[in-house]
Structure 1
Amino acid sequence: MSKHRLSDYLTHLHQAASDASGFVTGMKLDEFLADKRTQQAVIMNLIIIGEAATRVMEGYGHFAAKHPEIAWSSMRGMRNRIAHGYFDISVEVVWQTIQTAVPELLEQLAALHPDADTEERKSVT
């Protein structure tokens, strides 16, 4: 099994957030509510985001603690709510997340990569 690096997890976070955001570009809430395929695609990417956030928290806790502006625990919590309470998912909450939290996350992640690269160089030496 290969060991993922911090930058890998951040790349997964960014890709999933970007994909989820792209799936709803130009959509209105009523269109999203009527489009089960898009709902499922967005939900899957929220699970990926939460899983990657969990891996950062568990494998690179010092890095997560150094960046409290990122909602690591909230991402993990949403993933757990989706994965373990699937029949209770509020599609309206998913919509709100994709409209507000995901764009904010994308902005925050852009600033993290240089710090992640520095962090990985320190852990190798």
Structure 2
Amino acid sequence: MIDNRLRVLVWHIRDVAAEIAEFVAANSQEQVKANLFAARGLVHSLYMVADLATRLQNEHPEFVAAVSDVAWRDIRGLRNRIAHSYFELDHEVVWRAAVVEVPVLAGVLVERLDNHGRA
């Protein structure tokens, strides 16, 4: 049986990842860089995903251990970078995380959650 909190954390990551995907599909990287509030909104959404993933690491280490193909340390590092060094963020890293890494993370976690529930 899957812990309900585990399910909720993964679903929140999935939902925020979908919001990020919708945002980046509607806006170019240049548009986001040119709009301070759009850029900060995207960064905040990435923070949400990274913070939720960090909570997964802290609260559900057995699940995280079973998802070894995720760069958990890098995710925690992104969360810390956003929280403490937000004026030093590299916009290329932010964009790559939003366009490439977050959708992959969400997909992997949802798939593993489904498989975890069957085990």
Do the two structures share a fold, i.e. TM-score over 0.5? yes
TM-score (norm 1): 0.81
Q: Which residue of 1 aligns with 2:42?
A: 42
Q: Which has the higher contact order (CA 8 A, sep 6+)?
A: 2
TM-score (norm 2): 0.85
Q: Give 5+ residue unaligned stretches, structure 1.
A: 120-125
The structure with more radius of gyration: 1
- 2:25 corresponds to 1:28: no
Q: Distance in 2 between matches of 1:112 and 1:66?
A: 8
The aligned residue for residue 123 of structure 1 is none
In 2: Cα distance, 1:57 partner to 1:110 partner: 15
Calculate percent identity across the aligned residue pairs: 28
Distance change (3 Å), C-alpha of 1:106 and 1:58: closer
- Give the secondary-structure state (helix, strand or coil) at the position aligned to 1:64: helix
Code of the aligned partner of 1:22 = E
For residues 5 and 29 of structure 1, the distance between their equivalents in structure 2, rounded to whole angstroms, comes to 34
Instruction: State the aligned residue count.
Output: 117
For 1:34-113, list aligned pairs within 5 A: 34-113=34-113
**Aligned mates of 2:70, 2:118 — CA distance in 1:** 18
Verify the 8 A CA contact 1:23 1:41 in the aligned structure 2.
Answer: no
1:17-69: CA deviations, max 9, x gaps? 11122111132221221122221121111111111111111111111011112
Partners of 1:107 and 1:86 in 2: CA distance: 27
Alignment partner, residue 18 of structure 2 = 18
Instruction: Give the RMSD, CA atoms, in angstroms.
Output: 2.0
